[in-house]
Every structure is written in structure tokens, then in C-alpha cells.
């Protein structure tokens, strides 16, 4: 029996993104049977076998009732279960042996169904529309620009995730959050946007130059562009994810920029921005049809500029850019 208490795995089993904070919730699954334990104030948001409890009542009783058709000798729980919520599960099943369900969820969630792919595709389409409409203003700060993007994503019907807007030397810092740095002519620009449509995330990054780009910037940009194309071409069913990373990394190394590619080539997308597969040199993941992941090589010259290009890939018989 599986008892999923984390918001993301509850959403995977129920189809509902439900934040209950300190209040207990769980999706219970055994065979074809699934039931949901939720606070009474959220009961109307979930469809199916719903077992609710009110504030002041012990959720362990609702959990025990929800799991009554299941064998509770072995209970698989997510590794992200809080200690507070694990105590609820233990009260419900005091004689159970507990095991981690993380590998099960990783395997299930890595391969997307058609409706999941469609949601990621729509998220990518709407993000692209927001970015295409964005007009940069000289002297606008990174934070001001990020705020405009955030609002536009909401207006586009998306749930914004992290938004990175970097100008000038900040582009050499891949995870630099927006600051009060102002846009000046002659600045490199990196804009990395993630947002979810009906719970499923897309993640896109654009890099460009505000003004006339110098030769060095163009050389780096073209190298990253070539590395991305090589990685996309390498992505196919049964290929090791590490081979996709190698295709991008070897291209950048051949151009003399190997030390400046300081992160993995990509990551899976879905209910979370980062999930399986892991597109990195050490990854043990093998690509399968139905997987959705980013390809985002980058080169970062310290104290100067960085370039990262990111697209989202759906793997069918071959790689498709969403």
C-alpha cells in the first residue's frame, strides 16, 4: 500500500494540486483502489473516494478508514513526508513496516501520459508568448523586469515558478536571483522562466545582447547553440541520459570552453520543475518514450557574461521541441 503525503505525489494520484500546509493529507493506493484523506475544508476540491476530518479530529482515523480495503502490513511513503505527518501514518498503522515510495513515483512520473505532455506543451506555448511580447527598457532593473514577467504569466493563466532575469556580469551566475542591477546598453541578458499550466511546468531560457554584441559573445552564443543542437539530436529512446549530456559537453569542450560549462545539460519536467530524468554526466537514467526534459547547455565567463539556451523536449520516436 502507498500513502503519499507530499503535495506533488498527492497531485499525481489525485489530479489536484492541494496545499494543506500543516494539515495532514494523503493519497492511499493499493492495486486499482485509490482514496484521499483531506481536511474537511478542502473536501469539495477532491473527487473520488474522499475521507475528511475536521480540525481537532485525529486524521489517523480517516487514514485508517481510507485504507480499509488495503493490506497495511507494508506501507510505502514518500521520502518528503514530514515528521509530523509520519506520526499520523504511524498512529494509523502501528504494526506496519515502512518503506520508501520514491523510486516508484520517480518511475511513474518520468514517463508522461498524453494529457500531461499536452499541459507542458501549453505551458511552454504561453511562456513563449509572454517572452515574445516582453520589451526591455534601458535602466529597468532585473527585479522590475522579473515582476513584469510574473504578472504577465498570471494573466496568461499560468502559475509562475522561479523567474531569473540577469543583466551584464550577473549572467555569468546561473542561479543569480533578480537584483536592483539596471539594464545598460552593451549588457548580456539571460531570462529563465518556469511556469505551470494545470499543474505541469515548462521551463525556457533565452539569452541575448542589449546592443551590438562583441565577437566574443557571438562565439560563445554560437557554441552553446551548437551544443544544444547536438544534445537534441542525441536524445532518443534507450539512450543513456549521460550520453545526451556528453553530446553537449564535448561540443563546448572542443570549442575551448569546457571549464565554463558548470552544470548539467538538463532535467525532467512535470509536476515539479526538476524531476527525472537527470541529464548529467553521472546520470544512470535511460531515456524512454514519453519523457519530457530540458536541454539547457550554458557557458559562463566569470565577471563578464554568460549564455544559456533552454528548450523543453518531448521524446517520442525522436526528440520534439515543445
Q: What is the pLDDT of residue 219?
A: 98
Count of domains forming the chain: 2
Q: What is the pLDDT of residue 163?
A: 98
- Among residues 91, 110, 129, which one ends one of the domains? 110
Q: Which residue has the cell 515543445?
A: 322
Same domain membership, residue 133 and residue 91: no
48-86 per-position pLDDT tens digit: 999 999 999 999 999 999 999 999 899 999 999 999 999
Nearest-angstrom CA–CA distance, 127 and 241: 26
Asked whether the predicted pLDDT for residue 117 surpasses 90, the reply is yes
Nearest-angstrom CA–CA distance, 113 and 13: 13
Same domain membership, residue 143 and residue 41: no
Contacts of 12 (CB under 8 A, 6+ apart): 4, 105, 108, 109, 271
User: Which CATH number fits the domain that encloses residue 295?
Assistant: 3.90.230.10
| Percent of all residues in the chain with a pLDDT value above 70, rounded to a whole number | 100
- Structural domain span for residue 199: 114-321
Residue 172's Cβ-side half-sphere holds a number of Cα atoms within 13 Å equal to 13
> Whole-prediction pTM value?
0.93
Same domain membership, residue 120 and residue 79: no
Q: What is the pLDDT of residue 2?
A: 98
**Which among 259, 139, 260, 142 is positioned nearest to 192, based on CA atoms?**
142
Backbone phi, psi, residue 57, to 5°: -90, 155
Asked whether the predicted pLDDT for residue 103 surpasses 90, the reply is yes
Q: What is the mean pLDDT of the chain?
A: 97
- Among residues 51, 85, 110, which one ends one of the domains? 110
206-238 per-position pLDDT tens digit: 999 999 999 999 999 999 999 999 999 999 999
Coil/strand/helix, residue 168 = helix
Same domain membership, residue 97 and residue 163: no
Same domain membership, residue 289 and residue 143: yes
**Which among 228, 250, 254, 231 is positioned nearest to 241, based on CA atoms?**
231
Asked whether the predicted pLDDT for residue 318 surpasses 90, the reply is no
Amino acid at each position: 500500500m502507498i500513502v503519499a503525503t507530499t503535495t506533488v505525489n498527492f497531485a499525481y494520484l489525485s489530479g489536484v494540486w492541494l496545499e494543506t500546509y500543516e494539515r495532514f493529507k494523503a493519497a492511499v493506493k493499493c492495486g486499482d483502489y485509490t482514496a484521499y484523506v483531506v481536511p474537511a475544508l478542502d473536501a469539495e476540491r477532491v473527487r473520488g473516494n474522499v475521507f475528511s476530518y475536521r480540525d481537532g479530529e485525529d486524521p489517523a482515523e480517516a487514514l485508517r478508514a481510507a485504507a480499509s480495503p488495503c493490506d497495511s502490513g507494508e506501507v510505502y511513503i514518500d521520502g518528503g513526508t514530514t515528521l509530523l505527518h509520519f506520526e499520523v501514518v504511524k498512529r494509523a498503522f502501528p504494526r506496519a513496516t515502512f518503506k520508501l515510495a520514491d523510486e516508484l513515483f520517480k518511475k511513474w512520473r518520468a514517463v508522461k501520459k498524453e494529457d500531461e505532455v499536452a499541459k507542458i506543451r501549453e505551458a511552454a506555448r504561453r511562456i513563449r508568448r509572454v517572452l515574445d511580447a516582453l520589451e526591455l527598457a534601458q535602466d529597468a532593473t532585473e527585479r522590475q523586469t522579473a515582476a513584469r514577467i510574473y504578472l504577465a504569466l498570471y494573466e496568461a493563466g499560468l502559475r509562475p515558478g522561479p523567474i531569473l532575469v540577469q543583466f551584464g556580469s550577473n549572467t555569468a551566475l546561473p542561479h543569480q536571483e533578480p537584483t536592483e542591477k539596471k539594464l545598460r546598453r552593451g549588457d548580456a541578458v539571460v531570462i529563465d522562466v518556469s511556469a505551470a499550466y494545470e499543474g505541469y511546468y515548462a521551463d525556457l531560457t533565452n539569452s541575448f545582447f542589449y546592443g551590438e554584441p562583441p565577437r566574443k559573445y557571438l562565439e560563445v552564443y554560437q557554441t552553446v547553440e551548437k551544443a544544444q543542437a547536438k544534445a537534441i539530436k542525441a536524445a532518443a529512446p534507450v539512450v543513456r541520459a549521460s550520453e545526451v549530456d556528453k553530446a553537449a559537453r564535448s561540443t563546448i569542450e572542443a570549442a575551448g570552453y569546457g571549464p565554463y560549462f558548470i552544470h548539467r545539460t538538463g532535467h525532467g519536467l512535470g509536476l515539479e520543475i526538476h524531476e527525472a530524468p537527470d541529464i548529467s554526466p553521472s546520470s544512470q537514467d535511460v531515456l524512454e518514450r514519453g519523457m519530457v526534459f530540458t536541454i539547457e547547455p550554458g557557458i559562463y565567463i566569470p565577471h563578464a557574461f554568460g549564455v544559456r539556451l533552454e528548450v523543453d523536449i518531448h521524446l517520442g520516436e525522436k526528440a520534439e521541441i515543445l
